[in-house]
Amino acid sequence: MQKQLNYLDIHCRHLISLTPFLVLGTQAIDGMEDVTPRGDAPGFVKVPDDRTLLIPDRPGNNRLDDYSNVLGNPEVSLMFLIPGVKETLRINGIAGIRNDADLFGMFTVAHKTPLTVLKVTVREVHLHCAKALMRSKLWSPDAIIARTTLSSMGQMIKDQINSKGPVESQADMEARYEKTALLTNATALALSGNKVNSEIQETRIAPMPYRKMKDLAPSPHRIFSRL
């Protein structure tokens, strides 16, 4: 337990600044757990001080499992991964969902702002050793599996929901995603040096039923309350 910290030291902050991918774990009041990937250009997670993380909510699959969980149970877990680095960074903390207008400018990409920002107050931090990634050969070129080994994403979803519509090819889907990713990465890298005011008032969403992301408009008068 000696390696566990309750703050982000210089090494943790450097690692986060290089991270393009993290995994967010949450748990609902009824015990149902959820794990979701978050990715963007390196530096997309901001560290305004040694006990705070700010994570923008980018468009994804329009599910709100993690945010719905945070409303009832704010405890979250994060794992940060850097391609080519076998060690990972694990953080546990307390999360709040915020729509502060002054935060959105930090995370504006291709003239688009996130709908919300997840603020995590750090409670536990520790580096995880390289053993699991070494055993899995996760970053080894020899371990890469050809995408054609699996059905296309479109085909799998069509089969799962028993859709009768046409199937978007894997190549077309990835090309569509890539256009957004290229704009995001170029602009996010330019913004990666922005500094954050560490004295920002906490904002949390009032409890509400499951909604898709398009329904979660940043309206402080409708769904947000100041603490």
**10, 34 Cβ separation under 8 angstroms:** no
Express each pLDDT in 63-77 by its tens digit. 778 888 999 999 999
Asked which of 35-39, 41-45, 136-140, 210-214 is least confident by mean pLDDT, the reply is 210-214
| pLDDT higher than threshold 60 for residue 29 | yes
**213, 59 Cβ separation under 8 angstroms:** yes
Kindly state the percentage of the chain with pLDDT values over 70: 76
Per-residue pLDDT averaged across 170-189, rounded? 68
| pLDDT higher than threshold 80 for residue 222 | no
Q: What is the set of domains in the chain, with CATH numbers?
A: 10-226 (2.30.110.10)
Nearest to 116 by CA among 104, 131, 130: 104
Distance separating alpha carbons of residues 107 and 67, to the nearest angstrom: 18
Per-residue pLDDT averaged across 36-52, rounded? 94
DSSP string, 18-64: T-SEEEEEEE-TTS-EEEEEEE-STT-SEEEETTEEEEE----SS--
